[in-house]
Amino acid sequence: MKKEVAIGIDIGGTNTVIGVVDREGNLLAEGHTPTLTNTDIKNYLEVLTAKINETVFEIKEEIEVKGIGVGAPSSNYYTGEIVGASNLGWGDVVPFVQLLREYYDYPAIILTNDANSAAVGELMYGGAKGMKNMIMLTLGTGVGSGIIVNGELVLGHDGFAGELGHVIMDTNGRECGCGRKGCLETYASATGICRTVSELIATSKIPSELRKVPSGNFTSKMIFDAAEKGDKLALEAFEITGKMLGEAIANFVAFSSPEAVFLFGGLALAGDYIFKPTKKYMEENMCFLYSNKVKLLPSKLDGAKIAVLGASAVVWKELEN
Amino acid sequence: MKKEVAIGIDIGGTNTVIGVVDREGNLLAEGHTPTLTNTDIKNYLEVLTAKINETVFEIKEEIEVKGIGVGAPSSNYYTGEIVGASNLGWGDVVPFVQLLREYYDYPAIILTNDANSAAVGELMYGGAKGMKNMIMLTLGTGVGSGIIVNGELVLGHDGFAGELGHVIMDTNGRECGCGRKGCLETYASATGICRTVSELIATSKIPSELRKVPSGNFTSKMIFDAAEKGDKLALEAFEITGKMLGEAIANFVAFSSPEAVFLFGGLALAGDYIFKPTKKYMEENMCFLYSNKVKLLPSKLDGAKIAVLGASAVVWKELEN
């Protein structure tokens, strides 16, 4: 009997990763292709589908493809459209699923945003296995989120639920790419902690090796490395970032009372430097009903594969319903 | 054929209301009894069950009771316990459903908090009919909430989800009964707007007839009456309250992207005085993805009956699953 598989596709700003994944989350084949941006979407689809076919080809005798799950920024699960993803440059509204259906007629062809697919991946194959209520926060360039309630992805009435990076923490706070001020992602992302370091350089007298680096060159990895060497300013930056993130999570908990909150992405790789202050401020700011009940955990999935695993997992979720 | 009904019970701090409700939300019989507080719970249950039996008695030939739904503060749907409801004075943990099962063996005996039952009532019989995603905010002495996602009540992993009154708006803000500072309910409840009036009396020079009233006597109705007469301080208090509430709702929307947010309770009765500023600040603070998509609506259910209707509605929801 042929093995049932789903194809997971992760569309990043630079690269696209394709994975052929079975129901147990095993990656049977993998392919990569550059994400062609600022072009007619049809050009990209030609390249993408050729690469999909090539990736599947080697094992095509052994498998039965049940669907394709695509994770991409600004994606709408209900409509299958990518909306307002200016960095991809394919236009304001791209009917991605409809276009992909011109190439394939699998039972499920699904588009969802990358944080949602990461949440489903964690739920099906990672540390959230068996949970019914959890929140995944992806701390990368921005802050994304995928929320699971009663075992289901929270999509909202319009497919755009779960934008916790755009919860406002301070109405007079930092300018955000979304046009507003003080969004969580201006503080608690890999980019946010770089801004915090710049702010500390300006406002404090804490000595730091980071003062020698042009602020435009900061990376969260660099701040982590400085913290590892005991750099006080870097440590303070993690403390401030964890405070903001912990306060935010305490409020998220009052919404859906999850069993666990998972952190994933560049900033989460800093381990205790980010987890310890986040946990502390989360507990300090949490309503007593939830005290010491909600786990704060790192993603258990391989960072390089979570997006593809998650995108494929969404196919199985869809076929269940 | 006998009509299938559910008994809805609303346990308030002073009174308990009992209603016999059919699947369409028609109230067929109604009873009232004082809520006996600071006593052995068994004394109260004797009185309550006698009143339930009396209420059902008149129509008992026509009906078939399918269950009892109880709405009470600090209630846990999963465990059937009332936890830490100090104003009731029945002890820290009251196994309410278990105790009620000693009197009745209906297919469903359910306990849930009053805001959750209001949400389910609105969903089944009120303005949220047909919606799959909505949030109910009850603006009374405190701020309660009931959240519907994918057509289901959000209960969380422990049954305590949906405490949006205890989202922190300002970590250095007003003292809250929960022991923390700056919770939404210290601003956006009937009590909260009274505190805002007291604050405006202290900090502003705005003339007001409310300056003649001892602050301990303030009620949200009194502030509404003053606003009706054009009292500038009362109007400013509604503006400030709506600002806080609108900012909070903008963040809630980023979580679950509901089709509508419903306001219910004492403060919601102020109509445009509270709805207009709330709507304004909600839109101003909302991520562009949700702009002008989320309705802000008053509850469509009779305020005196929503708790009982909602509690009975939870029985049907439970029997569906």
Q: Which CATH number belongs to the domain containing residue B244 in this structure?
A: 3.30.420.40
Distance from CA of A156 to the nearest CA of B (A): 4
B38/B44 Cα distance (integer angstroms): 10
- pLDDT, average across residues B99-106: 96
Instruction: Kindly state whether B79 is in contact with chain A, defined as any CB-CB distance less than 8 angstroms.
Output: no
A187 and A262 part of one domain:
yes
pLDDT in tens, B107-140: 999 999 889 999 999 999 999 999 999 999 999 8
Least CA distance to B172: which residue of chain A? A285
Q: Element (H or E) spanning B201, and its range? A: helix B190-203
User: Nearest 5 degrees, angle CA A146-CA A149-CA A151?
Assistant: 100
Residue A15, domain extent: 3-123+304-320
pLDDT at residue B46, as a whole number: 96
pLDDT in tens, B151-182: 999 999 999 999 999 999 999 999 998 899 99
pLDDT at residue B307, as a whole number: 86
> Nearest-CA neighbor of B36 among B24, B47, B27, B28?
B47
Q: Are B191 and B216 in contact (CB under 8 A)?
A: no
- Interface mutation target, options B256, B283, B320, chain A, most CBs of A under 10 Å: B256
* Cα of A135 vs its chain's centroid, Å: 11
- Give me the residues of B, 152-211, that contact A with CB < 8 A: 152, 154-164, 166-168, 171, 178-180, 183
| Tokens linked to A259 | 């069993």
pLDDT at A258 over 90: yes
Out of A132, A167, A289, closest to residue B163 by CB: A289
- Average pLDDT of every residue of chain B: 94
Instruction: Kindly state whether B256 is in contact with chain A, defined as any CB-CB distance less than 8 angstroms.
Output: yes
- pLDDT, average across residues A43-52: 96
Q: How many CB atoms lie within 10 A of CB A181?
A: 16
Distance from CA of B52 to the nearest CA of A (A): 31
A155 and A222 part of one domain:
yes
Q: Are B277 and B246 in contact (CB under 8 A)?
A: yes
pLDDT at residue B320, as a whole number: 84
pLDDT in tens, A152-166: 999 999 999 999 999
Say yes or no for a CB contact (<8 Å) between B180 and A285: yes
Per-position DSSP letters for B211-228, written without gaps between them:
GGS-GGG--HHHHHHHHH
pLDDT at A1 over 90: no
- Interface mutation target, options A176, A251, A259, A284, chain B, most CBs of B under 10 Å: A251
Out of A156, A167, A178, closest to residue B258 by CB: A156
Measured CA distances, B123 to B17, B115, B299 (Å): 21, 12, 10
pLDDT at residue A87, as a whole number: 79
The pLDDT confidence band at residue B306, using thresholds 50, 70 and 90, is confident
User: Cα-flanking dihedrals φ and ψ of residue A287, to 5°?
Assistant: -60, 140
Least CA distance to B249: which residue of chain A? A167
B147 and B292 part of one domain:
yes
| Tokens linked to A115 | 């944080």
B81 and B179 part of one domain:
no
pLDDT at residue A306, as a whole number: 87
pLDDT at residue B143, as a whole number: 94
Least CA distance to B76: which residue of chain A? A289
B162/B184 Cα distance (integer angstroms): 13
B292 and B311 part of one domain:
no
A90 and A193 part of one domain:
no
Say yes or no for a CB contact (<8 Å) between A257 and B171: no
Name the residue with tokens 């992207």. B257
| Tokens linked to B29 | 């019989």
Least CA distance to A244: which residue of chain B? B171
Partners of A149 on chain B (C-beta within 8 Å) are 149-150, 152, 154
Least CA distance to B158: which residue of chain A? A257
pLDDT at B103 over 90: yes
B159 and B273 part of one domain:
yes
Q: Could you give the ipTM of this predicted complex?
A: 0.92
- pLDDT, average across residues B172-199: 95
Least CA distance to A167: which residue of chain B? B251
A25/A126 Cα distance (integer angstroms): 9
Name the residue with tokens 């009917």. A95
A197 and A70 part of one domain:
no
B149 and B294 part of one domain:
yes
A162 and A249 part of one domain:
yes
Number of domains comprising chain B: 2
Distance from CA of B142 to the nearest CA of A (A): 14
Q: Are B180 and B305 in contact (CB under 8 A)?
A: no
Partners of B162 on chain A (C-beta within 8 Å) are 254-257
Say yes or no for a CB contact (<8 Å) between B150 and A147: no
pLDDT at B305 over 90: no
The pLDDT confidence band at residue A84, using thresholds 50, 70 and 90, is confident
pLDDT at residue A305, as a whole number: 85
Distance from CA of A169 to the nearest CA of B (A): 8
pLDDT at residue A208, as a whole number: 97
Q: Which residues, in sequence order, are CB contacts of B70 under 8 Å at separation 6+?
A: B9, B11, B96, B97, B100, B109, B110, B111, B112, B311
Name the residue with tokens 């095509």. A60
The helix-helix angle for A220-228 and A232-256 (nearest 10°) equals 120
Name the residue with tokens 């299958």. A80
Helices marked H in B142-189: 185-188
B88 and B138 part of one domain:
no
pLDDT at A200 over 90: yes
B171 and B63 part of one domain:
no
